[in-house]
Structure 1
């Protein structure tokens, strides 16, 4: 069973076909694409070998398998869209994410390196989790809070 990433809410566990080589078994490495640490990503897998027509920018949005996954009931319940970098992910930011409404054009997310311009009007504020009981399940990512 694939679980949702607690930071970006993706249930995709396959790296894009053009992802730089990284040894996912070694802790302490940082992904050059999104800044994620390998310590928490031992569940990821390399993409199967595919012929890529657009070698300059193959993206998750062009993957025929991932285009279908957002129609699945679980993806709809999580408000998923296909991100061109990480694949299916929720459009709702984590509850502890810094306020993006005051971010300036060109600013970069300190967590994922995503640019504000790329995500303008595509991501939403997380519902308040204040007062949530210990062990409650997040309605967005389906993970325990």
Structure 2
């Protein structure tokens, strides 16, 4: 696991799930078919090692290593849960995320392509950072804003 935090979804996980479609991570300009992220900002990602997964789908929630990560102090401070696609990620939306208050069940997030149905009552609004000075530390991810 890398110590860097994704500024969009707040994950510290840098390993793609085992069932992730093939993407050349070294090549800029490609768009992930799963979450819509571009490879331009994701050169830190790695392919998951081949593992046999019996009786379950090869998603992040089935990974025994990631389930233990969310119990680490840093993950607890960030309010992490295990997302089946990206692994451990904060349940707090970034401060500039569009409001989800009026979102309907079938709506799709304009940022990550995630469906509201899968995230209803699982993600929370970010504490206000209006008026924060340049260089202030995010109260959720612990990174400078």
Q: 1:136 matched to which residue of 2?
A: 136
Provide the aligned C-alpha RMSD in A: 1.0
Higher relative contact order (CA 8 A, sep 6+): 1
Alignment of 1:4 with 2:2, yes or no, is no
TM-score by length of 2: 0.96
Give runs of ≥4 in structure 1 deviating > 3 Å.
none
Give the alignment of 1:17-56 within 5 angstroms: 17-54=18-55
Cα-to-partner distance string for 1:14-50 (whole Å, 9 max, x where unaligned): 0001111100011110000010000000000000110
- Separation in 2, partners of 1:87, 1:35: 16
TM-score by length of 1: 0.96
CA apart distance, 1:54 = 4.2
Gaps of 5+ in 2: none
Aligned residues: 144
Equivalent pair of 1:2/1:13 in contact (CA under 8 Å): no
Equivalent pair of 1:105/1:116 in contact (CA under 8 Å): yes
Q: 1:14 matched to which residue of 2?
A: 15
Gaps of 5+ in 1: none
